[in-house]
Structure 1
Amino acid sequence: MGRKVTLATCSLNQWSLDFEGNLERILKSIEIAKTHGAKYRLGPELEICGYGCADHFYESDTLLHSFQVLRKLLESPVTQDIICDVGMPIMHHNVRYNCRVLFLNSMLAPSCRKILLIRPKMLMANHGSYRELRWFSPWNQLRKTEEYFLPRMIQEVTGQDTVPFGDCVLSTKDTCIGTEICAELWNPRSPHIDMGLDGVEIFTNSSASHHELRKADQRVNLVRSATTKSGGIYLYANQRGCDGDRVYYDGCAMVAINGDLVAQGAQFSLNDVEVITATVDLEDVRSYRGELCQPLMESEHKPCHRVKVDFPLSTCDDFYLPTHQPIMWHFHTPEEEISLGPACWLWDYLRRSGQAGFLLPLSGGVDSSSTACLVHSMCVLLCQAVEDGNTQVLKDIRRVVGDDSYFPQQAKELCGRIFTTCYMASENSSEDTRNRAKELASQIGSSHMNINIDMAVKGILGIFSAVTGRWPQFHANGGSHRENLALQNVQARVRMVLAYLFAQLSLWASGRPGGLLVLGSANVDESLTGYFTKYDCSSADINPIGGISKTDLKGFLLYCAEQFQLSALRGILAAPPTAELEPLTDGQVSQTDEADMGMTYSELSVIGRLRKISKCGPFSMFCKLIHMWKEVLSPTEVAQKVKHFFWMYSVNRHKMTTVTPSYHAESYSPDDNRFDLRPFLYNTHWTWQFRCIDTQVSQMTANTSKQ
C-alpha cells in the first residue's frame, strides 16, 4: 500500500577528532539500519568530527577532514539505497555552521550519489556547559535557502556543483522529513511546530545532550509533546560516552508517533554503536491530524522550502509489515544513574587514555568510598558486556591489563587487575577509618595498600624548622589558627604527592607495564564552599563524583550496599564525615566536616541550587531561605548562614580554577573551567549585600515585636 516506513536512529560513542573511528562507527550504524529494513538513518550531532571539538572548530583541518569523511561515506557501498543524515561543521560564505548533511547513494542508478540538502542549526545551545555561539553562527533566515558550492573532492563524487543550504525539508515520493538539531527541541520556538502545520510528517533530532541526574524525563517529555500537539513521527538520536571532556552523553535514542513512544534505546551502555529502528504507519499521522490540526494547517503561513528526491521510504507490499506499538519508558532512579553514568565515563576515559588502571586514596569516608564503588560498578558493567558478547569491550580490557588472553570472570577479580586503593595514615588517623577502608577494598576486590605518611610530613616540617627555627603546633597543642591550618594542609598535600608517585611506579614495582590514573573524590558541595586543600589528594587526573552532592552520594552508597552486597558501606555511612587532619581525642575523632563548614550538607545542596540554578545573590538567597527554613531557623540565623556561605565561597573561589576535571552530573556545579563562569577574586566582605540582609532582618524583627 506504500504507507508504512521503517526508520532508524542511533546512539554513537564518537570521539572528538577521531575521524577514523567516527567513520567506522557511522558506517556500522548504517549497515545495522539497513539490515533492519530502514530507508532512513539519523545520527547524532556533529558525529563526523565529534561534538566536543571546542576551539578545534576554528581550525581549517577540522572542516577539511570532515569533508574527507563525507566523501568516504558517499563512496561506500554500505550507504547505498538509504537516506543518510549525518552531522558535521561547514563553512558557508566564511561563516561556520553546525550542519546536517542528507545524502543518497542509490544502487538503482550508479551515478546517483547525491547530497540532497544541507540544513544548518538555527537555534544554538549557549548555556551551562555549551558554548556553541563561540564557534558557530545560527542560520536565522527562516524558510530561506541558498546555493552552497561543494568542495571539489565532493563534486568529483556526486557530479554536483551546488546543493540547497538553509531552512528546508526533504520531500520523498511518499512523505516529508524535517530536521531539528538538539537545542531546537528545547526552544520555545521549536521548528517542528511550523513544519508540522506545513505537512511535514517525520521530524528528526540529532543531539549531543549530556547526562545530568534526573534529566531523562525532560527529554522524553519533550519528544512526546512535540508529536502530541500536532501529530507526526519523531526520531531522536544522541551522542553516547565521553568524547573528551567532563560531560557524559547518555544516549536515549527513541522514536515516537502521535505522542506515544514506540522504540527506546539504552540510556547507559558500553556499546559504541546502538541502532534503534521502528516501523510506523504514515496513515496514523494523517488520521491524527485530520481532527486536531486541519483548521490550523489551512491557515496562511509561509511554506517550507521542499527539496524533492525521487526515492520512497515505503514499499508497495507493506500490508503484512507489523508496526511498532506504544511502550512505557523505563526511567532509572538517581542512585542507578550515579551507578551507571560515571562508571561508563570512567571506562571511556581509561580505555582512551592508554593507562593501565586507576589509583584511589581511600580514606574510609563517604566520598572516597563512593568513588571506589563507581569503579566497582564499572567492572560489573564490563563483565556483563563481555558476557553479552561485546568484543570491543573485551579487546579494550585486554589492552588495559596488558594480556591478550585475559578473560574477566567476575567484577571483583577484574577490579584487582585495574584498581589500586591505598589508605594513607597519619598520627591523626583512627583505626576505625583504616578498618573501614580495608574492609571495603576487600569486598570490591581492589589491590589495597596501607601507607604511613608521618615520615614525609615530619621531613617537610623539618625543612621548614631548619630555615625558620620554628616548629608549628596544632590548635589542640597550643598553636594558632594559622599553624593549625598549615599542619592540616601539609598532610593533605603529601598525600597528593604520594598518590601520584604510587600511580606512576606501583605497577613497575610489581613488574607490570603501564601507569595508573589518580582518582579524586571531592563532592560538589565541598567544591562549592572550597572545603578542601588546594593541591591535596582531591587533586587528581579525574574526579567521577565532583558533580554529585553529598546527599545523593549517601543514597548511592545505600543502593550499592544492596545491589553489590557491600556490607562495609553501612559502617561508612554511619560514621560522621571527617578529614582526620587534627589530633585525636582519646583515640576518637573530634573534627567533623559539617562543624568545620558551619552548615550541613543538606543545607549546602539547597544553597547551591539557589546560587546557580535560581541565580541568587546574597540578598535574594536570604529572601528565599527565610521562607524555606522558617520552621527550623530564625531570620537572624538564616542571615548568618547566608553570609557565612558567601564568605566561604568567595574566600575559596580561587580553588575552582585548579579543580580536578569532574564528571558533570549536577546543574548547580561550581566548575569554573567549563560550567560556572564567575570571578575568582572577590571582595569577601560583601558590604553592600550583607548590609541589605541586615536591614531586612532588622525590619522583620521590629515588625515581629510590634505584633
Structure 2
Amino acid sequence: MDCHIQGNLQRILESIRIAKEKGATLRVGPELEITGYGCMDHFLEGDTGLHSWEVLAEILKSSDAKDIVCDIGMPVVHKNVIYNCRVIIHNSQILLIRPKMWMANDGNYRELRWFTPWAKHRQVEDHYLPRIIRAITGQEKVPFGDAVISTVDTCIGVELCEELFTPASPHILMGLDGVEIFTNSSGSHHELRKLYRRIDLMKEATMKASVGGVYLYANQQGCDGDRLYYDGCAMIVVNGRVVAQGSQFSLKDVEVVTATIDIEDVRAHRAVSSRSNQAAQAERYQRIEVPFSLSDCMADEIKHFSELVVGKLPEVRYHTPEEEIALGPACWLWDYLRRSRTQGYFIPLSGGIDSCATSVIVYSMCRLVAEAARNGDAQVIADARRIAGEPEGSEYTPVDPREFAHRIFHTCYMGTENSSPATRKRAKDLAEAIGSYHIDMNMDTLVTAVRDLFAYVTGVKPRFRVHGGTQAENLALQNIQARLRMVIAYLFASLMPWVRGRQGGLLVLGSANVDESLRGYFTKYDCSSADVNPIGAISKTDLKKFIAYARDAFDLPILTDFLEAVPTAELEPITETYVQADEADMGMTYDELSVFGRLRKVEKCGPWSMFTKLCHEWGSFLSPQQVAEKVKHFFFEYARNRHKMTTLTPSYHAEQYSPDDNRYDLRPFLYPSRFPWQFRKIDAAAAKLPDRSTKHAQEARDQHAIQAHDDD
C-alpha cells in the first residue's frame, strides 16, 4: 500500500489540474483513490488510515484544489468502524464524508472483510477530524453519513460503485428528492464482454423520467498489484445518453473526461406528472450547502452550447472480445513489468496456440508502448528506457515494437525427442515475426539424466506407453519433461539479462488457458508454474478468435499456422499410429469445457443440475446417456485435479468461470471424485429420459423403413 501513496497523490492533483484547465467545476475520482482499491488486508492497518489523512491534507493545502468541488475516495474510521468513503471538499473545507452503503462481496471482491456498510440511510452524524486536518480547515467536526451537496445552482449526490448494481439503487430516492447530478466512483475490473452491462446500467439509471439527471462515472484504470485490471472507461451520461467516454485501456496514468451539460435538460426530462407525484412524497435527504456555483455562464449561453453537444453525441465505443484480449492483458503486463522493476519477460514457446497467444499479447504490449512513445508520453518513455537497461541520460525512444520486443521479451523453444519439426519451426517463425530474443534448445540430455537416475536408484527403468509401459510410467515420463521446462525457464530468466550484458532478471510467463486449468489438464509445477499468466482466465475458444484477429490487425500471417495446428502437449513419442492430441487426452472438447465452466461457476450448477440443463441444451444431438457420461467425466476429472488450482500462477482475470482457488473460486481442493449420490441420480434419470437426438431419430426412421420393406 505504501508504494501507492506518493504516486496516487501526484495523480489526484494532476487530475484536478487537468479538470480545471478544461473548465470543470466538479471533479470526481475513482473508488479509494488515495490508497488504491487493491490494498485488501492493509485496510485493517492503522497506518493506512493515517497515511490517507496525510494525503488528504496535502490535497486540501494545494492551490490546485481551489475553486472546484472535488469528490475524493479514501477509507475513514468513524467511531472505531472502518468505512469506504467519499470525501467531498471545496476550498480547503470538507463538506461531507459519505460512507458506502452497499458492499461488493462476491467474485473478486471481499469488501465486508475490511469495511462496514453505512446502515443509517438518510442520516448524518458528526465526525471529529484528526488534528492534521483541523489545522488546515479550521473545522473540528464535519457531517458523516448519507446526505447530499447543495450548490447555488444544483444538487449533487453520491452513488458508490456497487450501489449502482443493487436492485434499489440510491440514485432513485436521491433523484426523487431533487438531486440532479450523481457521482459514481468505482473500482470495477475488466472482464470480457462486461462493459455493455456497466454502460446499460448508467444509461438506465438516468433514462426514466422518475430519475433523469447527470451521471458522472470515474473508474480505476490499471493494475493495482493483483490479478485484476481496472479498465477505466470514465463517462458522463445525461438523461440516458452518453455524452463523453474515456478510453477503456490505456498506458496513461491519468485520464480526465469532461463535458459541458445543461441542467435545464434534466429538469425538462423530469417534468412528468407521475414522477412529480412520487417526488412530492419522497423522503428528505439532509442537504449540505456550499456557496459555490457549478455554472458561471448565462443560462442562454449554456443552453446554446448544450444544443451543440446534443447534436453531436459521440458513439459509445465497445471493443470486441478479441480487441479486449489484445489490450487488457497487454496493459496489465506493462503495469506489472514497470511496478516489479524487472527487465522483461521470458516464456517457453512451445509452437502451440497458448504460448503463441501469450507471446502475441506481449507483442501487443510492445505496440502500445511504441504508440505511446510516438505520442510523446514521457512516463512511458522513461519506464521503457529503465526496463530496456538504457543508461542515465539516454535518449532512446521505443518507437518500433519489434525492436523493443527484442530488448525485453525472451522466448525459448525447449525441444525433446518427442517434439516435432513443425512446432519448432512455428516457434522460430513467430519469434522472428514479433521480434523476440529467441533461443532454440534440445533438453533430451536432462530428461535422460533424470530417467537414468531413477533407474540407477530403483533398478527399473520407466517406459512410455507406446513402448509397453504402464499408465503410471507413461504419465511420470511426461511430467519429467514438463517440470524440467519450468526449472530451465527460471534459470534462463535469471541469467539472460546477464548473458546480454545487462543487470536484473526476467519474469517468467505462464500460458495455461482457463479450460485446461478447469479440467486440470496440466502438470503440477510444470511450465504452468510461472510468475504471471496473461491468458489464465481466457478460454481456448476466445484465444483462437484473438489469434485470428491479431493475424490481420498486427500483420502476422504466421498465426495461420497456429490456428490450423492440432493442439498437442508433445510429451509422448510420435509413432505411425499415434500422435498425442489435447482433446483426445482430456476426453472432452475445449468448447464443451467452456460450457461446463460457465454452468459450474456462473450458473452455480452441481452435477445433477448441470445434467438436467444439458439434457435440454444438448438433447437435439446427444442422448441422455451421452450427456450423463460427459457430465460425470467432467466432474470426475475436475474434482480429482482440483488440488492443482492451489498452485495456479496468478492470472489476469478475464472470465467469469475462472477456477482460481487463490482469490476468485473459493471451493475445496480435496474431493471424493466419484460423487456417488449425484452420479447415481444422474444414471437413473438418464435411463428413463427419452432420446431426442437427431441420431436417434434417424436410426428410428431407418428402422421404420426397414420394417416397411420387410412388410412388402
After alignment, is 140-149 or 324-333 more displaced? Answer: 324-333
2:228 counterpart letter in structure 1 = V
Alpha-carbon contact 1:339-1:556 (below 8 Å) kept: yes
Residues 1:457 and 2:457 are matched in the alignment: no
1:533 counterpart letter in structure 2 = T
Task: Give the Cα–Cα distance (whole angstroms) in 1 for the partners of residues 423 and 647 of structure 2.
Answer: 28
* Structure 1 length-normalised TM: 0.95
Task: Give the Cα–Cα distance (whole angstroms) in 1 for the partners of residues 277 and 75 of structure 2.
Answer: 35
SS at match of 1:103: strand
Deviations 1:332-389 (A, max 9, x none): 1100000000000000000110100000100111100000000000011111111112
Report how far residue 702 of structure 1 moved.
9.8
Task: Give the Cα–Cα distance (whole angstroms) in 2 for the partners of residues 504 and 18 of structure 1.
Answer: 27
The equivalent of 2:505 in structure 1 is 515
1:242 counterpart letter in structure 2 = C
The equivalent of 1:397 in structure 2 is 384
The equivalent of 2:57 in structure 1 is 71
2:67 counterpart letter in structure 1 = D
Residues 1:244 and 2:225 are matched in the alignment: yes
Task: Give the Cα–Cα distance (whole angstroms) in 2 for the partners of residues 273 and 589 of structure 1.
Answer: 55
SS at match of 1:672: coil
Alpha-carbon contact 1:650-1:682 (below 8 Å) kept: yes
The equivalent of 1:692 in structure 2 is 681
Residues 1:610 and 2:591 are matched in the alignment: no
The equivalent of 1:10 in structure 2 is none
The equivalent of 1:231 in structure 2 is 212
Alpha-carbon contact 1:16-1:51 (below 8 Å) kept: no
1:544 counterpart letter in structure 2 = P
The equivalent of 2:94 in structure 1 is 115
Deviations 1:523-569 (A, max 9, x none): 00000010000000111000000010000000000001101111111
Report how far residue 409 of structure 1 moved.
2.8
Task: Give the Cα–Cα distance (whole angstroms) in 2 for the partners of residues 382 and 173 of structure 1.
Answer: 45
Task: Give the Cα–Cα distance (whole angstroms) in 2 for the partners of residues 703 and 370 of structure 1.
Answer: 39
Task: Give the Cα–Cα distance (whole angstroms) in 2 for the partners of residues 292 and 89 of structure 1.
Answer: 41
Task: Give the Cα–Cα distance (whole angstroms) in 1 for the partners of residues 59 and 362 of structure 2.
Answer: 37
The equivalent of 1:667 in structure 2 is 656
Question: Please, which of 390, 401, 408 is the counterpart of residue 411 of structure 1?
Answer: 401
Task: Give the Cα–Cα distance (whole angstroms) in 2 for the partners of residues 512 and 699 of structure 1.
Answer: 69
Deviations 1:197-252 (A, max 9, x none): 00000000000000000011111111111100121000000000001000100001
Q: Are residues 298 and 179 of structure 1, via their aligned partners in 2, closer, same or farther at CA, if it must alter by over 3 Å?
A: closer
Question: Please, which of 46, 57, 65 is the counterpart of residue 43 of structure 2?
Answer: 57
After alignment, is 247-256 or 451-460 more displaced? Answer: 451-460
Gaps of 5+ in 1: 1-14, 106-112
The equivalent of 1:619 in structure 2 is 608
Question: Please, which of 372, 375, 388 is the counterpart of residue 362 of structure 2?
Answer: 375
The equivalent of 2:294 in structure 1 is 313
2:513 counterpart letter in structure 1 = N
1:304 counterpart letter in structure 2 = Y
CA RMSD of aligned residues (A): 1.5
Alpha-carbon contact 2:569-2:582 (below 8 Å) kept: yes
Task: Give the Cα–Cα distance (whole angstroms) in 2 for the partners of residues 297 and 393 of structure 1.
Answer: 52
1:26 counterpart letter in structure 2 = I
2:381 counterpart letter in structure 1 = L
SS at match of 2:641: helix
Task: Give the Cα–Cα distance (whole angstroms) in 2 for the partners of residues 532 and 201 of structure 1.
Answer: 54
Q: Are residues 298 and 331 of structure 1, via their aligned partners in 2, closer, same or farther at CA, if it must alter by over 3 Å?
A: closer
Alpha-carbon contact 2:371-2:399 (below 8 Å) kept: no
Task: Give the Cα–Cα distance (whole angstroms) in 2 for the partners of residues 318 and 35 of structure 1.
Answer: 22
Gaps of 5+ in 2: 701-712
Report how far residue 61 of structure 1 moved.
0.5
What stretches of structure 1 move > 4 A for 4+ residues in a row? 701-705
The equivalent of 2:244 in structure 1 is 263
Q: Are residues 541 and 446 of structure 1, via their aligned partners in 2, closer, same or farther at CA, if it must alter by over 3 Å?
A: same
Task: Give the Cα–Cα distance (whole angstroms) in 2 for the partners of residues 583 and 64 of structure 1.
Answer: 62
2:536 counterpart letter in structure 1 = G
SS at match of 1:18: helix
SS at match of 2:521: coil
Task: Give the Cα–Cα distance (whole angstroms) in 2 for the partners of residues 154 and 195 of structure 1.
Answer: 29
Q: Are residues 384 and 454 of structure 1, via their aligned partners in 2, closer, same or farther at CA, if it must alter by over 3 Å?
A: same
The equivalent of 1:657 in structure 2 is 646
Task: Give the Cα–Cα distance (whole angstroms) in 2 for the partners of residues 385 and 277 of structure 1.
Answer: 22
Task: Give the Cα–Cα distance (whole angstroms) in 2 for the partners of residues 553 and 31 of structure 1.
Answer: 41
Residues 1:482 and 2:472 are matched in the alignment: yes
Alpha-carbon contact 1:177-1:203 (below 8 Å) kept: yes
SS at match of 1:274: coil
2:170 counterpart letter in structure 1 = P
The equivalent of 1:24 in structure 2 is 10
1:502 counterpart letter in structure 2 = F
The equivalent of 1:422 in structure 2 is 412
Residues 1:539 and 2:529 are matched in the alignment: yes
Task: Give the Cα–Cα distance (whole angstroms) in 1 for the partners of residues 468 and 297 of structure 2.
Answer: 90
Aligned residues: 684
Task: Give the Cα–Cα distance (whole angstroms) in 1 for the partners of residues 436 and 622 of structure 2.
Answer: 44
Residues 1:335 and 2:322 are matched in the alignment: yes
Alpha-carbon contact 2:620-2:692 (below 8 Å) kept: no
The equivalent of 1:632 in structure 2 is 621
Question: Please, which of 348, 353, 358 is the counterpart of residue 340 of structure 2?
Answer: 353
Report how far residue 589 of structure 1 moved.
6.5
Question: Please, which of 563, 569, 577 is the counterpart of residue 579 of structure 1?
Answer: 569
The equivalent of 2:130 in structure 1 is 151
Alpha-carbon contact 1:370-1:553 (below 8 Å) kept: yes
Alpha-carbon contact 1:16-1:50 (below 8 Å) kept: no
Residues 1:678 and 2:680 are matched in the alignment: no
Q: Percent identity at matched positions?
A: 60
Alpha-carbon contact 2:621-2:692 (below 8 Å) kept: no
Task: Give the Cα–Cα distance (whole angstroms) in 2 for the partners of residues 124 and 16 of structure 1.
Answer: 24
Alpha-carbon contact 2:611-2:628 (below 8 Å) kept: yes
The equivalent of 1:5 in structure 2 is none
Alpha-carbon contact 2:207-2:240 (below 8 Å) kept: yes
Question: Please, which of 260, 272, 281 is the counterpart of residue 300 of structure 1?
Answer: 281
The equivalent of 2:186 in structure 1 is 207
Task: Give the Cα–Cα distance (whole angstroms) in 2 for the partners of residues 342 and 365 of structure 1.
Answer: 19
1:377 counterpart letter in structure 2 = S
Task: Give the Cα–Cα distance (whole angstroms) in 2 for the partners of residues 406 and 488 of structure 1.
Answer: 45
Deviations 1:394-423 (A, max 9, x none): 010001011133211311111101100000
Question: Please, which of 33, 38, 43 is the counterpart of residue 29 of structure 2?
Answer: 43
2:120 counterpart letter in structure 1 = Q
The equivalent of 1:496 in structure 2 is 486
The equivalent of 1:12 in structure 2 is none
Task: Give the Cα–Cα distance (whole angstroms) in 2 for the partners of residues 164 and 387 of structure 1.
Answer: 48
The equivalent of 1:108 in structure 2 is none
Matches within 5 A, 1:269-308: 269-291=250-272, 294-308=275-289
Report how far residue 37 of structure 1 moved.
0.9
* Structure 2 length-normalised TM: 0.94
Report how far residue 436 of structure 1 moved.
0.6
Q: Are residues 702 and 241 of structure 1, via their aligned partners in 2, closer, same or farther at CA, if it must alter by over 3 Å?
A: closer
